[in-house]
Amino acid sequence: MALTLQEVRNNCARARRRMADARAQHWAFGAFNLDDQATLKAVALAAQKTKAPVLVEVSQGEVDDIGLMNVRDLVDNVKYEYGVEMYINLDHSPSVEAAKKAIDVGYEFIHIDVSQANHDATDEEIIAATREVVEYARFTGALVESEPHYFGGSSNLHTETIDYEEIQKTFSTPEKMKEFVEATGIDTFAAAIGNLHGKYPVPKKLDLGLLQQLRDAADCNISLHGGSGTPGHYFESAVKIGVTKVNINSDMRVVYRQTLEKVLVDNPNEYSVAKLLNKYVVPAVQAVVEEKLTTFNSAGKAVV
């Protein structure tokens, strides 16, 4: 059922207040990708058990598979069923048009990332698209997130090691961040400090000194994409510095698949895959989410 405009605005206003709370109280929202209903249930159960606020996020591929409005309805149903504080984030929206559609159906968080669809997008093109989404989002109050360049990696399990000399070329700089925030009016800046999409054979390393410089450079929220495969102490330090949103996807997907593969082998005569998902996969993914929420210092911070 579609939300009324006033309900959407109320949700967005609350989300905005809660991001301010996160920054003031030094905790971060975990933003967890929604692959299917089992994943959503795992996130909801983790949020319920830890009493933590959460974001459920969908990329364009997940939007295409599930549907913008279906995601809105699924999250609203789960939110009320489990009594949790939960919002929706549109992750890496490749176009202004796609971002506007998500704003129209009431998503509280919007990440516009035209460089994902066009890695060669110019600074001017990225700024213009981002500013257009910021202006449009004022109608509902949705929070807009972006960054001035393409963010590498993918949400798969990678076999190659991380070439830090290469990814350092795309690290955020305080000067560029300040310019971008002022030029676009975004609410949240997606920082690049060693975080990288996907899960790799070696742990990721975050440049916390650079993160502090970014925090000092502009008065906006800061997010970290590509949080999977990162030792927890980095996040504990990051939230103290002022990060208020951390995206997690690959850690969940790897556990989901590995658990499902094992239980299918262990239960060759069970053809109700949904039963196996609920009994084994959901708890496995839930455990991953719970660990992240504790690391982000968001456990116990929910306001329902």
Of 145, 191, 155, 194, nearest in space to 39 by CA: 155
263: left (phi over 0), alpha (psi -120 to 50) or beta: alpha
Instruction: Indicate the SS3 state at residue 157.
Output: strand
**3 state SS for 96-143:** HHHHHHHHHCCCCEEEECHHHHCCCCCHHHHHHHHHHHHHHHCCCCCE
CA atoms within 13 A on the CB side of 132: 15
Residues 216, 172 contacting (CB under 8 angstroms): no
Active site residues: 91
Burial class (CB in 10 A: 0-12, 13-18, 19+), 249: buried
CA atoms within 13 A on the CB side of 240: 9
Residues 246, 30 contacting (CB under 8 angstroms): yes
Mention every residue, 6+ apart, whose C-beta is less than 8 A from residue 261.
Answer: none
Mention every residue, 6+ apart, whose C-beta is less than 8 A from residue 302.
Answer: 47, 51, 52, 53, 84, 85
Residues 246, 5 contacting (CB under 8 angstroms): no
